Amino acid sequence: MTTAITTTRGLPEVARRPRTANLLRFARRKPVGAISLAIILVMVFLAAFAEVMAPFDPLAQDYDSIMQPPSALHVFGTDNLGRDLLSRIIHGSRISLQIGISAMVISTGFGAVIALISGFAGGKLDLLVQRIMDAWMAFPLIIFALTVLAALGPGLTQTIIAVGVVGIPSTSRVIRGSVLAEKQNMYVEAARALGASQFRQMFMHVLPNVAAPILVIATLRLAQAILTEASLSFLGLGVPPPAPAWGSMLSGHSRTYMLAAPWMAVWPGVAISLAVLSWNLLGDALRDLWDPRQKGT
Protein backbone atom coordinates (compact mmCIF):
# COMPACT_ATOMS: atom_id res chain seq x y z
CA MET A 1 0.00 0.00 0.00
CA THR A 2 2.82 2.38 0.82
CA THR A 3 4.45 1.76 -2.55
CA ALA A 4 1.22 2.54 -4.41
CA ILE A 5 0.79 5.80 -2.53
CA THR A 6 4.35 6.82 -3.21
CA THR A 7 4.02 6.04 -6.91
CA THR A 8 0.85 8.10 -7.19
CA ARG A 9 2.43 11.03 -5.41
CA GLY A 10 5.39 10.82 -7.74
CA LEU A 11 3.23 11.44 -10.78
CA PRO A 12 3.01 14.96 -12.21
CA GLU A 13 -0.04 16.97 -11.22
CA VAL A 14 -1.28 17.13 -14.82
CA ALA A 15 -1.13 13.34 -15.13
CA ARG A 16 -3.14 12.82 -11.91
CA ARG A 17 -5.80 15.38 -12.75
CA PRO A 18 -8.85 13.93 -14.59
CA ARG A 19 -9.71 15.31 -17.96
CA THR A 20 -13.02 16.67 -16.71
CA ALA A 21 -11.15 18.64 -14.06
CA ASN A 22 -8.88 20.06 -16.76
CA LEU A 23 -11.91 21.16 -18.78
CA LEU A 24 -13.51 22.78 -15.72
CA ARG A 25 -10.26 24.54 -14.91
CA PHE A 26 -10.04 25.77 -18.50
CA ALA A 27 -13.66 27.01 -18.30
CA ARG A 28 -12.94 28.91 -15.07
CA ARG A 29 -9.74 30.49 -16.35
CA LYS A 30 -10.94 31.20 -19.88
CA PRO A 31 -14.76 31.38 -19.92
CA VAL A 32 -14.80 33.05 -23.35
CA GLY A 33 -12.61 30.29 -24.73
CA ALA A 34 -14.87 27.65 -23.20
CA ILE A 35 -17.96 29.23 -24.78
CA SER A 36 -16.14 29.37 -28.11
CA LEU A 37 -15.22 25.69 -27.77
CA ALA A 38 -18.87 24.83 -27.09
CA ILE A 39 -19.98 26.74 -30.20
CA ILE A 40 -17.34 24.96 -32.28
CA LEU A 41 -18.47 21.56 -30.99
CA VAL A 42 -22.07 22.39 -31.91
CA MET A 43 -20.91 23.45 -35.37
CA VAL A 44 -18.95 20.21 -35.80
CA PHE A 45 -21.97 18.19 -34.65
CA LEU A 46 -24.26 19.94 -37.13
CA ALA A 47 -21.76 19.43 -39.94
CA ALA A 48 -21.34 15.73 -39.14
CA PHE A 49 -25.07 15.03 -38.95
CA ALA A 50 -26.33 17.62 -41.43
CA GLU A 51 -28.66 15.18 -43.19
CA VAL A 52 -30.40 14.38 -39.88
CA MET A 53 -30.38 17.86 -38.33
CA ALA A 54 -31.50 19.82 -41.41
CA PRO A 55 -35.32 19.94 -41.60
CA PHE A 56 -35.37 20.19 -45.43
CA ASP A 57 -33.26 19.36 -48.44
CA PRO A 58 -30.94 22.38 -48.88
CA LEU A 59 -31.31 22.20 -52.67
CA ALA A 60 -35.07 21.58 -52.82
CA GLN A 61 -37.02 24.48 -54.32
CA ASP A 62 -40.55 25.27 -53.15
CA TYR A 63 -42.14 27.94 -55.35
CA ASP A 64 -45.08 28.23 -52.94
CA SER A 65 -42.70 29.40 -50.17
CA ILE A 66 -40.58 32.00 -51.95
CA MET A 67 -38.98 34.59 -49.63
CA GLN A 68 -41.08 33.69 -46.63
CA PRO A 69 -39.98 35.37 -43.38
CA PRO A 70 -38.87 33.27 -40.39
CA SER A 71 -41.73 31.15 -39.09
CA ALA A 72 -42.39 27.93 -37.18
CA LEU A 73 -42.02 25.89 -40.39
CA HIS A 74 -39.00 27.76 -41.77
CA VAL A 75 -37.12 29.02 -38.70
CA PHE A 76 -34.67 31.14 -40.73
CA GLY A 77 -37.08 31.86 -43.57
CA THR A 78 -36.64 30.96 -47.24
CA ASP A 79 -34.72 32.45 -50.16
CA ASN A 80 -35.87 33.63 -53.58
CA LEU A 81 -36.19 30.01 -54.79
CA GLY A 82 -38.11 28.78 -51.77
CA ARG A 83 -35.15 26.92 -50.26
CA ASP A 84 -35.05 26.60 -46.47
CA LEU A 85 -32.28 28.83 -45.12
CA LEU A 86 -31.77 26.87 -41.89
CA SER A 87 -31.08 23.71 -43.89
CA ARG A 88 -28.67 25.57 -46.13
CA ILE A 89 -26.87 27.10 -43.15
CA ILE A 90 -26.47 23.65 -41.54
CA HIS A 91 -25.15 22.06 -44.72
CA GLY A 92 -22.97 25.12 -45.32
CA SER A 93 -21.20 24.45 -42.02
CA ARG A 94 -19.96 21.17 -43.51
CA ILE A 95 -18.47 22.98 -46.51
CA SER A 96 -16.85 25.65 -44.34
CA LEU A 97 -15.35 23.11 -41.95
CA GLN A 98 -14.17 20.86 -44.77
CA ILE A 99 -12.42 23.73 -46.52
CA GLY A 100 -11.18 25.28 -43.27
CA ILE A 101 -9.69 22.10 -41.83
CA SER A 102 -8.16 20.97 -45.13
CA ALA A 103 -6.66 24.39 -45.83
CA MET A 104 -5.39 24.61 -42.25
CA VAL A 105 -3.64 21.24 -42.63
CA ILE A 106 -1.97 22.44 -45.83
CA SER A 107 -0.83 25.80 -44.47
CA THR A 108 0.22 24.49 -41.05
CA GLY A 109 1.88 21.34 -42.37
CA PHE A 110 3.93 22.99 -45.09
CA GLY A 111 4.56 26.05 -42.94
CA ALA A 112 5.89 23.93 -40.05
CA VAL A 113 8.21 21.94 -42.31
CA ILE A 114 9.57 25.11 -43.93
CA ALA A 115 10.00 26.75 -40.53
CA LEU A 116 11.83 23.74 -39.08
CA ILE A 117 14.26 23.47 -42.00
CA SER A 118 14.82 27.21 -42.26
CA GLY A 119 15.12 27.97 -38.55
CA PHE A 120 17.23 24.94 -37.70
CA ALA A 121 19.61 25.30 -40.65
CA GLY A 122 20.18 29.04 -40.28
CA GLY A 123 22.76 30.87 -42.35
CA LYS A 124 22.25 31.54 -46.04
CA LEU A 125 19.47 28.97 -46.38
CA ASP A 126 17.42 30.65 -43.66
CA LEU A 127 18.04 34.06 -45.24
CA LEU A 128 16.96 32.84 -48.68
CA VAL A 129 13.82 31.13 -47.38
CA GLN A 130 12.78 34.17 -45.35
CA ARG A 131 13.17 36.49 -48.33
CA ILE A 132 10.92 34.15 -50.32
CA MET A 133 8.38 34.21 -47.48
CA ASP A 134 8.55 38.02 -47.39
CA ALA A 135 7.88 38.23 -51.12
CA TRP A 136 5.06 35.72 -50.74
CA MET A 137 3.45 37.72 -47.94
CA ALA A 138 3.75 40.94 -49.96
CA PHE A 139 0.78 39.84 -52.06
CA PRO A 140 -2.62 40.60 -50.50
CA LEU A 141 -4.25 37.40 -49.30
CA ILE A 142 -7.44 37.65 -51.35
CA ILE A 143 -5.59 38.76 -54.49
CA PHE A 144 -3.21 35.82 -54.25
CA ALA A 145 -6.10 33.39 -53.66
CA LEU A 146 -7.99 34.85 -56.61
CA THR A 147 -4.90 34.37 -58.78
CA VAL A 148 -4.60 30.72 -57.79
CA LEU A 149 -8.32 30.11 -58.41
CA ALA A 150 -8.13 31.90 -61.75
CA ALA A 151 -5.42 29.45 -62.77
CA LEU A 152 -7.10 26.32 -61.32
CA GLY A 153 -10.76 27.21 -61.84
CA PRO A 154 -13.61 27.23 -59.30
CA GLY A 155 -14.40 24.13 -57.27
CA LEU A 156 -14.12 22.60 -53.81
CA THR A 157 -10.65 21.09 -54.25
CA GLN A 158 -9.32 24.20 -56.00
CA THR A 159 -10.65 26.40 -53.20
CA ILE A 160 -8.94 24.23 -50.57
CA ILE A 161 -5.62 24.52 -52.43
CA ALA A 162 -5.95 28.28 -52.91
CA VAL A 163 -6.92 28.97 -49.29
CA GLY A 164 -4.24 26.62 -47.95
CA VAL A 165 -1.42 28.02 -50.06
CA VAL A 166 -1.97 31.65 -49.05
CA GLY A 167 -1.58 30.80 -45.34
CA ILE A 168 1.81 29.07 -45.62
CA PRO A 169 4.18 32.09 -45.29
CA SER A 170 2.59 33.70 -42.23
CA THR A 171 2.35 30.31 -40.50
CA SER A 172 5.99 29.59 -41.30
CA ARG A 173 7.15 32.92 -39.86
CA VAL A 174 5.39 32.34 -36.54
CA ILE A 175 6.63 28.76 -36.10
CA ARG A 176 10.17 29.73 -37.12
CA GLY A 177 10.39 32.05 -34.11
CA SER A 178 9.62 29.14 -31.78
CA VAL A 179 12.14 26.92 -33.58
CA LEU A 180 14.89 29.52 -33.18
CA ALA A 181 14.18 29.69 -29.44
CA GLU A 182 14.05 25.92 -28.94
CA LYS A 183 17.17 25.02 -30.87
CA GLN A 184 19.28 27.01 -28.35
CA ASN A 185 18.25 24.74 -25.47
CA MET A 186 20.57 22.20 -23.90
CA TYR A 187 18.59 19.13 -24.95
CA VAL A 188 19.36 19.93 -28.61
CA GLU A 189 23.07 20.26 -27.77
CA ALA A 190 22.89 16.95 -25.93
CA ALA A 191 21.25 15.23 -28.89
CA ARG A 192 23.89 16.66 -31.21
CA ALA A 193 26.66 15.49 -28.88
CA LEU A 194 25.21 11.98 -28.89
CA GLY A 195 25.46 11.91 -32.68
CA ALA A 196 21.81 12.52 -33.62
CA SER A 197 21.32 13.62 -37.21
CA GLN A 198 19.83 17.01 -38.02
CA PHE A 199 16.64 15.31 -39.18
CA ARG A 200 16.27 13.58 -35.82
CA GLN A 201 17.07 16.77 -33.94
CA MET A 202 14.41 18.69 -35.88
CA PHE A 203 11.56 16.20 -35.92
CA MET A 204 12.19 14.16 -32.77
CA HIS A 205 13.40 16.85 -30.37
CA VAL A 206 12.48 20.36 -31.58
CA LEU A 207 9.11 19.63 -33.23
CA PRO A 208 7.43 18.11 -30.10
CA ASN A 209 8.49 21.15 -28.09
CA VAL A 210 6.93 23.62 -30.54
CA ALA A 211 3.66 21.65 -30.77
CA ALA A 212 1.78 24.13 -28.55
CA PRO A 213 2.37 27.20 -30.77
CA ILE A 214 1.64 25.07 -33.83
CA LEU A 215 -1.76 24.10 -32.41
CA VAL A 216 -2.52 27.71 -31.53
CA ILE A 217 -1.58 28.99 -34.98
CA ALA A 218 -3.61 26.14 -36.51
CA THR A 219 -6.82 27.33 -34.82
CA LEU A 220 -6.19 30.89 -35.97
CA ARG A 221 -5.45 29.74 -39.52
CA LEU A 222 -8.66 27.73 -39.56
CA ALA A 223 -10.65 30.85 -38.75
CA GLN A 224 -8.81 32.73 -41.48
CA ALA A 225 -9.47 29.89 -43.93
CA ILE A 226 -13.23 30.01 -43.26
CA LEU A 227 -13.27 33.77 -43.79
CA THR A 228 -11.18 33.51 -46.97
CA GLU A 229 -13.43 30.80 -48.39
CA ALA A 230 -16.50 32.92 -47.66
CA SER A 231 -14.87 35.89 -49.41
CA LEU A 232 -14.00 33.82 -52.47
CA SER A 233 -17.50 32.34 -52.65
CA PHE A 234 -18.96 35.82 -52.27
CA LEU A 235 -16.92 36.90 -55.29
CA GLY A 236 -18.13 33.87 -57.27
CA LEU A 237 -14.79 32.02 -57.39
CA GLY A 238 -15.20 29.65 -54.45
CA VAL A 239 -17.53 26.69 -54.24
CA PRO A 240 -19.90 27.02 -57.22
CA PRO A 241 -23.69 27.10 -56.73
CA PRO A 242 -26.05 25.49 -55.95
CA ALA A 243 -23.82 24.23 -53.12
CA PRO A 244 -24.91 25.98 -49.89
CA ALA A 245 -21.66 27.84 -49.18
CA TRP A 246 -22.08 30.69 -46.72
CA GLY A 247 -20.20 33.16 -48.88
CA SER A 248 -22.25 32.47 -52.00
CA MET A 249 -25.45 32.76 -49.94
CA LEU A 250 -24.41 36.33 -49.11
CA SER A 251 -23.91 37.35 -52.73
CA GLY A 252 -26.15 37.36 -55.77
CA HIS A 253 -29.84 37.31 -54.91
CA SER A 254 -29.24 38.13 -51.24
CA ARG A 255 -28.00 41.57 -52.27
CA THR A 256 -30.80 41.95 -54.83
CA TYR A 257 -33.53 41.23 -52.28
CA MET A 258 -31.78 42.81 -49.28
CA LEU A 259 -34.64 45.21 -48.52
CA ALA A 260 -37.48 42.81 -49.29
CA ALA A 261 -35.99 39.76 -47.54
CA PRO A 262 -33.10 40.83 -45.24
CA TRP A 263 -32.99 37.40 -43.56
CA MET A 264 -31.42 35.98 -46.75
CA ALA A 265 -28.21 37.89 -45.96
CA VAL A 266 -28.45 38.16 -42.16
CA TRP A 267 -28.27 34.45 -41.30
CA PRO A 268 -25.27 33.53 -43.51
CA GLY A 269 -23.48 36.61 -42.18
CA VAL A 270 -24.21 35.57 -38.59
CA ALA A 271 -22.96 32.05 -39.30
CA ILE A 272 -19.68 33.30 -40.79
CA SER A 273 -19.11 35.80 -37.99
CA LEU A 274 -19.89 33.26 -35.27
CA ALA A 275 -17.61 30.59 -36.74
CA VAL A 276 -14.66 32.93 -37.34
CA LEU A 277 -15.04 34.63 -33.96
CA SER A 278 -15.26 31.30 -32.10
CA TRP A 279 -12.09 29.90 -33.68
CA ASN A 280 -10.21 33.15 -33.08
CA LEU A 281 -11.26 33.37 -29.44
CA LEU A 282 -10.38 29.72 -28.87
CA GLY A 283 -6.96 30.30 -30.39
CA ASP A 284 -6.42 33.35 -28.16
CA ALA A 285 -7.45 31.34 -25.08
CA LEU A 286 -5.09 28.48 -25.93
CA ARG A 287 -2.26 30.93 -26.59
CA ASP A 288 -2.75 32.60 -23.20
CA LEU A 289 -3.01 29.20 -21.51
CA TRP A 290 0.15 27.73 -23.05
CA ASP A 291 2.29 30.85 -23.24
CA PRO A 292 4.99 30.61 -20.53
CA ARG A 293 4.95 34.40 -20.19
CA GLN A 294 1.34 34.20 -18.94
CA LYS A 295 2.05 31.71 -16.13
CA GLY A 296 2.46 34.38 -13.48
CA THR A 297 -0.69 36.34 -14.37
Domain ranges of the chain: 40-59+74-289
Q: Which of 31, 26, 36 is nearest to 278 (CA)?
A: 36
Looking at residue 17, its pLDDT comes to 52
Which pTM was predicted?
0.82
Q: What is the pLDDT of residues 76-121, one digit of tens each?
A: 999 988 999 999 999 999 999 999 999 999 999 999 999 988 888 8
> What would the mean pLDDT of 224-235 be, rounded to a whole number?
88
Q: Other CB atoms closer than 10 Å to residue 27's CB: what's the count?
A: 14
Q: What gap in Å lies between CA 152 and CA 163, rounded to an integer?
A: 12
Looking at residue 234, its pLDDT comes to 85
Q: Is the pLDDT of residue 142 over 80?
A: yes
> What would the mean pLDDT of 249-272 be, rounded to a whole number?
87
| CB-count exposure of residue 140 (10 Å: 0-12, 13-18, 19+) | exposed
Backbone angles phi, psi at 66, to 5 degrees: -75, 130
End-to-end CA distance of the chain: 39
The architecture (CATH level 2) of 40-59+74-289 comes to Orthogonal Bundle (1.10)
Q: Assess contact for 96 and 229: CB atoms under 8 A.
A: yes
Residue 292 DSSP symbol: G
> 218 in helix, strand or coil?
helix
Residue ranges of E strands in the chain: none
Looking at residue 45, its pLDDT comes to 95
Q: Is the pLDDT of residue 1 over 50?
A: no
Using pLDDT thresholds of 50, 70 and 90, give the confidence band for residue 14: very low
